[in-house]
Amino acid sequence: MDANFNPDKQHTLASAAKISGTGLHTGIQVDMTLKPANPGFGYLFQRVDLPGQPTIKADCDLVTDTSRGTTLEENGAKISTVEHILAALVGMGVDNCLVEVNGPEIPIIDGSSQPFVEIIEAAGVLEQDAAKAWYSIDTNITFYDEKKRVEMVVMPAMEYKVTTLIDFNSPVLGTQHAGLKNIGDFKAEISPCRTFCFLHELEMLLEHNLVKGGDINNAIVIVDKPVTQEEMNRLAKAFKRDKIEIKSEGYLNNLELRFPNEPARHKLLDVIGDLALIGYPIKGHIIANRPGHSSNVEFAKKIKQYIRRNKHVKNVPIYDPNQPPVFNIHQIEKTLPHRHPFLLVDKIIELTDRHIVGIKNVTFNEPFFAGHFPGNAVMPGVLQIEALAQTGGLLCINTMPEGQYDTYFIKIDNCKFKAKVVPGDTMILKMELLNPIRRGICEMRGTVFVGNKIATEADLMAQLVKRS
C-alpha cells in the first residue's frame, strides 16, 4: 500500500479494472470487471450474463456451497470461487467495488490473488471523502469444529492481523504456519500464494469432471501416495502435457514454490477472503488452526452476529462532534436535490451498506418555528419524518452503482412521536435497511434520538428513481 494510504478512510478504485480467464471448476471463460462504487457500497457481484443482471452481495449469510471454494447465491443467481478476489480487495484496502462477471465463477488465473492485485494497482486505489467504520473486537470470539479439528479465534488487537496453522498429517506438507501482522504486507507476502490440493483429491475431481478449468499452472499438487505410470499418463493428458513427473519433495513438477510455506500462506489468503463476508472491517487478531472454507464462513457468521448484536441493533448512536463527518453539508448537497430551507440533514456521521446516522441541529431560527406554535416552539413531526427520509435517501443512493437518483415516499407505517423536539436539540437520525433494495424499493426503519431518548420512530418505504 502507498505510504500515504489512510486506513481510516473508505477507498474505491480510481478506474475500472478488467481481467479474463477460465473458472477452475466450470471451465467456462469469464470476463470480470471491477468498477468503482460509492462510500458504504461494500462488495457486490453482478451477473451481467443473466436476464435482469441480478446482483449478489458479499455476505456470509448468502453462502450456499463451500465444497470447492466459496459460492454465494442471491436473486436467483450464483457466483463461485469468490475468496481470491475478495482477499485482493481487502488486501489492497478497497472498501467499495462492484464486481461484474459474465459467468458463474470468478476466473482462477494462477490460483492466487496476485493477478487481481496487479489490475487493482494498475486501476489505482482512490481515497473517498468518507470515514471507514472499523469494528474493534473487544472480547475473544471462538469457533470450534470437533469433527474437522478446526479451531478459530479472534482476539482484541489494535489492527487486523491473521495467523494460520495447517496440519494435514502429510509427510510432504507437514505442519506449516503463516502470519500477516499488517494488511499492508498482503501484496508482497500473501497475494502470490497459490491454491493447492492433494493428488488423491485431484484424481477424484478429474474422475467426476469437476476441474474443467484446471491447468498445470494454477495449483500446487501434493503427491501423498505412490503413483503408477498409468496414473501419470492420465494426469499428463488431463493437463495437456507430454510428461508429468514427481519432484523429490513430493510435489508435481508443474511449478516452483514461491515460498517454502506457500500452502499455509494460501490458507491465510482464503481466511482474509472468506472473512470479508462479515460485512464489517474489523480490528482483531485472527488465529486459525486447520481452516477451510466451511469453517471460515461459519466463523464469519459468528463474528457478524456478535457485531450486529453489540453495535447496530437498537443501540443509541454515539455522536462525538470532534470526529470528522462521513459527509458534510456540501457533500450532502451533491447527492440530495434538497436545499435551504428544506434540507434537514446537516452531516452524516456513520454510513455502511445497511445503516446510516445523520445529524440535524435544531435552532430557533428554523423558518417553520415562526408559524408552528408561535411562542411554544415545537418541531413539526412531519418534518422529523422528512429529516429521516432525507437521511435514508443518502443511504439508498449510496448503495446504487452509478448515476444520480431521487427518492420518493411510497408508505409510512408504525409512526410514533414519543417526545417533543425543540430549539437547541440535536437530532440523531438513524435509518436501517429492513430488507435488501429490490427493483428500486427501499424499506427502512427510522429513529430520531435526542440524547439517548427516542423522540420519533417509523417504518418508511421509498422508491429510487434514476434522474434522466
Q: Is 372 a residue of the active site? A: yes
Q: Which of 293, 312, 330, 340 is catalytic?
A: 293
> What whole-number distance in Å separates Cα of residue 58 and Cα of residue 154?
21
Q: Give the list of residues 6+ apart from residue 40 with CB closer than 8 angstroms, or none.
A: 10, 96, 130, 351, 352, 353, 356, 395, 398, 399
Closest C-alpha to 45, from 83, 92, 1, 7 = 83
Q: Give the list of residues 6+ apart from residue 37 with CB closer than 8 angstroms, or none.
A: 12, 44, 96, 97, 98, 401
Q: Is 330 a residue of the active site? A: no
Residue bearing cell 462525538: 320
> What whole-number distance in Å separates Cα of residue 332 and Cα of residue 339?
10
Q: Give me the sheet containing 405-417, strands edge to edge.
A: 347-351, 355-361, 426-433, 441-450, 453-466, 405-417
> What whole-number distance in Å separates Cα of residue 449 and Cα of residue 419?
10
Residue bearing cell 454510513: 351
State the angle between helix axes of 83-91 and 114-123 in degrees (0 to 180), rounded to the nearest 10: 50
> What whole-number distance in Å separates Cα of residue 328 and Cα of residue 183?
29
Which element (helix H / strand E) includes 202? helix 199-207
Q: What is the DSSP letter of 2?
A: -
Contact (Cβ atoms closer than 8 angstroms) between residue 80 and residue 105 = yes
> What whole-number distance in Å separates Cα of residue 343 and Cα of residue 394?
12
Beta 355-361 vs 347-351: how paired, if at all?
antiparallel
Which residues are known to be catalytic?
Answer: 293, 372
